[in-house]
Structure 1
Amino acid sequence: MLKYSYALIFFIFSLTLTAQQSVNPLLAKDVTGQQKWVDSVYSSLTLKEKIGQLYMVQVFSNQSQANKNKIIRLIKDQKIGGIIYSKGGPVRQAKLNNELQAASQTPLLIGMDAEWGLSMRLDSTFSFPWNMTLGAIKDPKLIEQAGRQLGEHSKRLGVHFNFAPVVDINTNPKNPIIGNRSFGEDRDNVTEKAMAFMTGMQSVGVLASAKHFPGHGDTASDSHKTLPTIAFNQKRIDSIELYPYRKLITEGLSSVMVAHLNVPSLEAQDGRPSSLSRTIVTDILKERLGFKGLIFTDALTMKGAADFVKTVSQSSNSGEIDLAAFLAGNDVMLMSENVEKGIDKIAEAYERGAITEDRLALSVKKILQAKYKVGLNKYEPIGTANLVDDLNRIQDYALYETLMENAITVAHDPKELLPIRHLETKKIAYVSLGNDDGSAFYEALKKYGKVHKIEAPNLDGLIEKLQNYNTVIVGFHKSNDNPWKSYEFTNKELTWLYEIARTNTVILNIFTRPYALLDIESITNIESVVVSYQNSQVAQEKTAQLLFGAITAKGTLPVSAGPYFKVGDGIQKNSLERLGYTIPERVGMDSEKLKKIDSIAHYAVNQKMTPGIQILVARKGKVIYNKNFGKHTYEGNRPVESDDIYDVASLTKIVATLPLLMQLEEQGIVSLDTKLSEILPYYKNSNKKNMTIKKMLSHYAQLKPWIPFYYATLDSVTKKPSTKYYSTTSKPGFTTEVAPHLFMRDDYQDSIPKIIKDTDLLNRLRYRYSDLPYYIIKQYIEKHYNKTLDEVAQDRFYSSLGANHTLYNPYKTISNTKIPPTEEDDYYRFQKVQGYVHDMGAAMQGGVGGHAGVFSNANDIAKIMQLYLQKGFYGGVRYLNPETIDKFNTCYYCEKNVRRGVGFDKPQLGEQGPTCGCVSMTSFGHSGFTGTYAWADPEEELVYVFLANRTYPTSKGKNMLLREDIRTNIQEVIYEAIK
């Protein structure tokens, strides 16, 4: 015992040498006013009322009336000082809190366990990432912001003390109660993050409470159920466990929660919990570390404390535990089993002189100081109006995204597989392991590449299916309900993982705590490992974005996980500048204002201007609005979905023909001043021989707007497809499919260029929009590459862009259930047009036109527009040079009232035009006959895509989308939403 005493004295002395002088963190700015109020309240209290202030009792806002009445009796009869709220709901808690405060003589101090947000205890509230996730983030300013916003939630609900941050250093992976609640295993990282969290929370007036003193991070048992032992020597405890407390105390930590731990090196009495140890609470925490803030016991109902008292008094509700805790130096008795008996025990000890007036006043006045500091001297009830909205703000969702983006960690990638490049060569499979949902991950992956979810009832079947893929993404998804949920692989899952990795290139994504990696005995065959920490929807979506290079990889592991993964590991990965997905506020847009788009779109659908619509808005490389409205047809019941594809009509010009021509121009194969006869000698004896590419694509070349090629192929009597030109079956000479069971004569392909060549020019030179240049340019591109236009577009753009929903003639590969129809044709094909191009001239070219024929969805069109906005760079690939895009995005004949660039439409020069009139003059885009529209604005970094099938069931009659300015009205809303 003597040896123990000397060692402890030396330990405490060493703490004294290193401890810095700290001020009372409970002092308010108005110290004089605070002291006056504290003294006044204290002097008004009887002995038992003063002792009552030491108690904080647990309350559930979803409790019964009987339990509520019990709490009100404790407030009125025992004059308790505070409430710690547990499970329930925010509105119920606010109303209950107002009622309990009204019943209290002295305003109640309100506490909660809200380590990752009020959602730790309440429904309908926001959940921030767990501490382990935050521990992976390098920038402490982000953690400070998390503490600040969590503090704002607490304050809004009338919570004064948040029992956070957890400063336990989780050096034991098998810790059953801390784990994800810790910032990690490195003391410096834990301290830095805890400091930032505390600073943020206390900056908004909510007091922090570091826990669980002296350190619960290296235990293998749960103090709720037993008394864990901390078996380390004093030197180790001083250098590791106590380190964060020392630092936080010097920076104004408001309170400390003392754990129920057996620490033999610090407490001589065998089995005495730290919460009841005067040596630990008073000698070390208060005197040697210089802590002057409030000291809370951990819940006195926990087995770690209650079982010890039973050995002394045979009962844990006799009040002995409360007295022991107070004598140890604690200020607040948290969740006593018997408040009345506890008060009596402490009062008895006071009466017999075991507790002095100074000792009692020290704790009670600290509690009253805290009450003054949080404003309880001017208490106001909690307002319930908009309470749930206030606790789920858009800025909270924005911060959550930012935190997850900064946390996700690439832990292993020796072959530099990430981010995924060369999509044209990738055949990607997704396999889901674990017992939780990974659908958000899968849906996000599909936005970037051709990813197929592979399932099989057994391993052999799975391995056989995976033979068709060269990359396998394995998602290990575990429950995100709370941080204590199971995180381990099962033996079956490990077997499947090893077998998949043995025969495939594998990217393993862990959507749970990093300790799951402890189960992996070998990573020899696993090419990449990514740790996402949680399985929330945002974590899944952001991980997909990281894998494909839409966001950078920044996180580092906060803990070690076996021989392959060490604390601090994390491979930084740059973005490939692919489109990401986020909320509007993160790119300077207003979510509320963007809701007007919904109203306009619903109006258009309800007024039957179009059966359905896809709308996408992106800013600064991030999609911030992507919604679908209506159905495929007015009479149908199939709603529009994001992976449905629309006939984009004339958008084909700028998403297929134009980019291919731009590549040829920058290669020096053609120039804007190249004459038609120079690229197609076929035209050298025509009236079009001297037309330049610049004039043709600026629609300033006297070409006719449109030629109804199909009309000459109709029977002169029936006005239906003539048997001279069409067959109902495919046969030699009739293989050009224009619709189901309708095949055109192949040699008519030669007639179309001849008709264009021979047709007269307009009488005078003026701006006149025409499809004909794109028939001509298509002819040249196919001649140059000796491939069809659709093949060239796929090879040179769509495949590597990940534009997997963009193609010609989708009827060949895609179900009609994913293709809204464009018309009930009663003038050419006399059937529903669905999956076949609507434009007649393009249909007569086998569905592949330079002016029409592409089908796509809003997401893919946005990728192509973003490529233009990024000056030809996308997904790590340079498709076009910036000067090439600038050259084609120039209006060369503006002085002639030509608003067009070379291929691109431009904003109006006068009153009428293709935009809302609120866009920049550097902006560009195009519209399509079927109701489509795509526009990009470099100055605001905006992309706007609108897809529709307004031509269904008929294209005849008024174009109400155009007449009522639906597309441009939406565009105006977008610009109004810019902050």
Structure 2
Amino acid sequence: MVLSSEDKREIGQHFVFGFHGHEISEDAKELIEKYHVGNIILMKRNVQSVKQVHALVQSLQQCARDAGHRYPLMIGIDQENGLVSAFSSTEKHQAGTQFPGAMAIAAISDVNYARDCSAASAREMKAVGINWTYSPVGDVNSDPQNPVIGVRSFGDDPIKVAQYAKAVGEGLAQGGLAPSAKHFPGHGDTNIDSHLGLPVINKSRAELDQTELKPFKELIDAGVASIMTGHMAIQALTGDSETPASLSRAVTTALLREELKYEGVVVTDCLEMNAVMERKGGVPRGAVEALVAGADVIMVCHTMAFHRGAIEATYEAVQKGELHMDELRKSGKRVAALKRRFVGTWDDVLGKPFDEEAMNALQATNKKLSEDAYAKSTALISGSLPAFSSGKIVVMTPVVESLNAAVDDAEGVQRTEKGHVRNTAAPYYMSFAESVRRRAADVEHLVYAADFDCRREFGQGVIFVTRNADRSAWQLDVLEKVRTQTSDPVVVLASCAPYELFSRRVLGVQACVASFEFTSEALEAAARVIFNEVFPAGKSPVSVRGQ
């Protein structure tokens, strides 16, 4: 069959693509004008300030209207809060307010904070024209060794994960954004990162119902606007250990649509992850397979050649009869409904000047909510906090490692020829040292590696910061050496997942504190707790059973 202009316009509605730059690029214009792409994802690379994002979104929407799009664009972003916060401010740029991520929010033990922080974050994004966010994370972090979910999960209890994910979805919708629950049918019980390879989850269907699927069932019952499928193989669902769930009709259509009765929009995770990209045919073929499986929107975030390839492979699949336009049009009605609900008309999105005064007032209110939430999330896992003397305090932070591709391997991170992160002192750990300096007169900040020489003076107390030391056990090796060199108080601060604090290897330290993430805001809250300015009210949402 020969594709008509309307056919191509319809096909364009089934993709969400990213581009590079702080202004609309020629690539973005080509995608919107030539390929009729109806959805755009903004990455951290596109965010410089709230005012700049507003101008960028206006130019994207104007381009779509000028190109004859029937509906405005869905403008999505990866804003889970916590460590995955594409809209939040950085050390270089002032953008959105930083709120606690999933595990930190769950540590507060009050779902109202999950709802309120999500609504507050959504209002900032809505004010600049963003209307879709890829959150909440519905994954249950039942494998402590999980390299990509970890603190992005609300914990290891599927019932509590369901409660918090539902609250976040409600808050985002209240703030005017379409939420997207991810990564269906569940990415929590694997120690393989789908950015790097294909995770395989070997569970029975009964086990999946009790753990992985439980939060998503709750979210579906609550009417969550969209769901993101993940790139993991689950033989009990797909029938083999080679097909990612995102490309499986047994998952997207048979399970999600037909069995669980989900009627909202299904979007895939980015197909440029190795779990899909390394398959035969790569990203373009993956796009076709995902559409055949029943996905409504295919996500490709980075590479223009893959954008063109995915669209043109879809044209070819329709022409050959592998994909059918009537199914795409039926799917397109779900996308159009999402746009009507969360975007509105052209008059709703264009010609809206940026209200800087209103944004400043909103962010002032949100800053107070964020500080309150972070203060309540910090947990004292064991021991008792010391009253540090007036002598020198040594702050020890680990060298940066690439442990989580969703967090550590953002574009623009400078690396050595061997691939190591170039900066030895991470900016967030430098900010923590500054937080300690505001509370103590004499502070020394040491960055330690596996070969750190512990034969030195350690002052009158040590704050020893770890990051996923259950997996990077060399950090605990250094801790044990430090403890042999000093009899003064040692406080261990787990700056990400708290699993190492349940280890026997930290027994005997003065206190173990968990911040559940290493954002500067979380580490400032941890400093307030360590120096007894606020009570450590947080409770760990995860544990290590049997220890």
Distance, in Å, in 1 between the alignment partners of 2:89 and 2:278 is 26
Does the alignment pair 1:164 with 2:147?
no
- Alignment size in residue pairs: 488
1:208 aligns with 2:179: yes
Task: Give me the whole-angstrom Cα distance separating, in 1, the residues matched to 2:62 and 2:143.
Answer: 46
* Aligned residue in 2 for 1:61: 21
Among residues 293, 299, 303, which one is paired with 2:274 in the alignment?
303
Q: Counterpart in 2 of 1:573? A: none
Aligned residue number for residue 931 of structure 1: none
Deviations 1:661-694, CA, capped at 9 Å, x for gaps: xxxxxxxxxxxxxxxxxxxxxxxxxxxxxxxxxx
What is residue 496 of structure 1 aligned with on the other side?
481
Contact 1:74–1:80 at 8 Å: present in 2 too?
A: yes
Correspondence for 1:52 = 12
- Listed as ranges, the matches of 1:562-601 within 5 Å are none
Contact 1:61 1:93 in 2 (8 A): no
Cα gap change, 1:488 to 1:523, in 2 (>3 Å): closer
Aligned match of 2:340: 372
Is 2:330 the counterpart of 1:362? yes
The match for 1:514 is 498
Q: Does 1:526 find its partner at 2:509?
A: yes
Per-residue deviation at 1:288?
Answer: 1.1
Residue 544 of structure 1, CA deviation: 4.2
CA distance in 2, matches of 1:372, 1:244: 27
3-state SS of the aligned residue for 1:78?
Answer: coil
Given the superposition, is the C-alpha separation of residues 374 and 288 from structure 1 closer, same or farther in structure 2, using an over 3 Å criterion?
Answer: same
Aligned twin of 1:324? 289
- SS at 1:115's partner residue? strand
| Distance verdict in 2 for CA 1:356–1:477, change over 3 Å | closer
What secondary structure sits across from 1:256 in the alignment? strand
- Alpha-carbon distance in 2 for matches of 1:403, 1:441: 18
Q: How does 1:635-674 map to 2 (within 5 A)?
A: none
Q: CA deviation at 1:99?
A: 2.1
Q: 1: distance between equivalents of 2:286 and 2:524? A: 49
2:457 is aligned to: 462
Deviation at residue 114 of structure 1 after TM alignment: 1.2
Partner of 1:474: 463
Cα 1:499–1:274 shift into 2, 3 Å: same
Measure how far apart 1:515 and its partner are. Answer: 3.2
Question: 393, 396, 419: which one pairs with 2:366?
Answer: 396
- For residues 472-871 of structure 1, the aligned pairs below 5 Å read 472-476=461-465, 490=475, 493-499=478-484, 503-517=487-501, 520-547=503-530, 549-561=532-544
Q: Give how far 1:427 is off.
A: 6.6
Aligned AA for 1:316? G
- Corresponding residue number in structure 2 for 1:405: 375
Query: Residue type of the partner of 2:286?
Result: I
Residue 55 of structure 2 is aligned to residue 95 of structure 1? yes
In structure 1, distance between residues paired with 2:545 and 2:454: 27
Q: Which has the higher contact order (CA 8 A, sep 6+)?
A: 2
Specify the alignment match of 2:252 in structure 1.
281
229-238 or 203-212, larger mean C-alpha shift:
229-238
C-alpha separation between the residues in 2 aligned to 1:171 and 1:459?
35
Q: 1:291 to 1:238 in 2, by over 3 A?
A: same
Judge conservation of contact 2:77–2:87 (CA < 8 Å) in 1: no
Alignment map for 1:174-213 (pairs within 5 Å):
174-213=145-184
Residues 538 and 361 (structure 1 numbering): CA distance in 2 closer, same or farther, change over 3 Å?
A: closer
Shift of 1:235: 1.6
Name which of 204, 209, 221 aligns with 1:250: 221
Q: Render the CA deviation track for 1:778-819: whole Å, top value 9, x for unaligned.
A: xxxxxxxxxxxxxxxxxxxxxxxxxxxxxxxxxxxxxxxxxx
Pairwise CA RMSD: 3.2
Task: Indicate how the Cα distance of structure 1 residues 406 and 52 shifts in structure 2: closer, same or farther if over 3 A, else same.
Answer: same
Give TM-score scaled by structure 2 length.
0.80
For 1:341 and 1:524, the matched residues in 2 are separated by 55
**Cα deviation, residue 95, structure 1:** 2.5
Q: What is the rounded CA distance, in whole Å, between the counterparts of 1:455 and 1:492 in structure 2?
A: 19
Tell me how far apart the structure 1 counterparts of residues 259 and 89 of structure 2 sit (CA, whole Å).
35
Classify 1:455/1:129 alpha carbon distance in 2 versus 1 (closer, same or farther; 3 Å). closer
- For residues 308 and 453 of structure 2, what CA distance do their matches in structure 1 show? 62
CA contact (8 A) 1:62 1:92 kept: yes
Deviations 1:602-638 (A, max 9, x none): xxxxxxxxxxxxxxxxxxxxxxxxxxxxxxxxxxxxx
C-alpha spacing 1:365/1:45, structure 2 compared with 1 (3 Å): farther
Amino acid at match of 1:511: S
Determine helix, strand or coil for the equivalent of 1:248: helix
Once the two structures are TM-superposed, the CA of residue 330 in structure 1 deviates from its matched residue by 0.2
Shift of 1:103: 2.0
The one-letter amino acid paired with 2:537 is K
Conserved? CA contact 1:487–1:515, under 8 Å: no
Q: CA deviation at 1:51?
A: 1.3
Match of residue 423 from structure 2: none
The DSSP-based 3-state class of the residue aligned with 1:304 is helix
Shift of 1:249: 1.0
Paired with 1:158 and 1:556, the residues of 2 have a C-alpha distance of: 36
Q: Alignment partner of 1:290: what SS? A: coil
Whole-Å Cα distance in 1 between the matches of residues 532 and 475 of structure 2?
31
> For the Cα contact (< 8 Å) 1:514–1:561, is it kept in 2?
no
Structure 2: distance between partners of 1:522 and 1:207: 44
In structure 2, relative to structure 1, the CA distance for the partners of 1:267 and 1:195 (3 Å cut) is same
Check the 8 A contact 1:118/1:154 in 2, yes or no.
no
1:880 is matched with: none
Identity %: 25
Q: Deviations over 1:36-80 (max 9, x none)?
A: xxxxxxxx97122111111111123337x8xx2222122112211
Alpha-carbon offset, residue 252 of structure 1: 1.6
Look up the match of 2:356. 386
- In structure 2, relative to structure 1, the CA distance for the partners of 1:477 and 1:274 (3 Å cut) is closer
Q: Distance in 2 between matches of 1:200 and 1:455?
A: 39
Q: d(CA) in 1 for partners of 2:238 and 2:278?
A: 17
Query: Match of 1:199, SS?
Result: helix
Instruction: Return the alpha-carbon distance in structure 1 between the equivalents of residues 443 and 137 of structure 2.
Output: 39
2:61 touches 2:349 (CA, 8 Å); kept in 1? no
Distance 2:89 2:436 in 1: 30
Measure the CA separation in 2 of the matches of 1:321 and 1:537: 38
Q: How does 1:799-948 map to 2 (within 5 A)?
A: none
Q: Which runs of 5+ in 1 are unaligned?
A: 1-43, 467-471, 565-979
Query: Structure 2: where are the runs of 5+ without partners?
Result: 399-428, 447-451
- Which string of whole-angstrom CA distances, capped at 9 and with x for unpartnered residues, describes residues 273-307 of structure 1? 11110001111111111111100011122221122
Cα deviations across residues 374-429 of structure 1 (Å, max 9, x unaligned)? 2332333353452895497112211111111111111112xxx4475xx9xx6766
Quick one: distance in 1 between partners of 2:11 and 2:445? 63
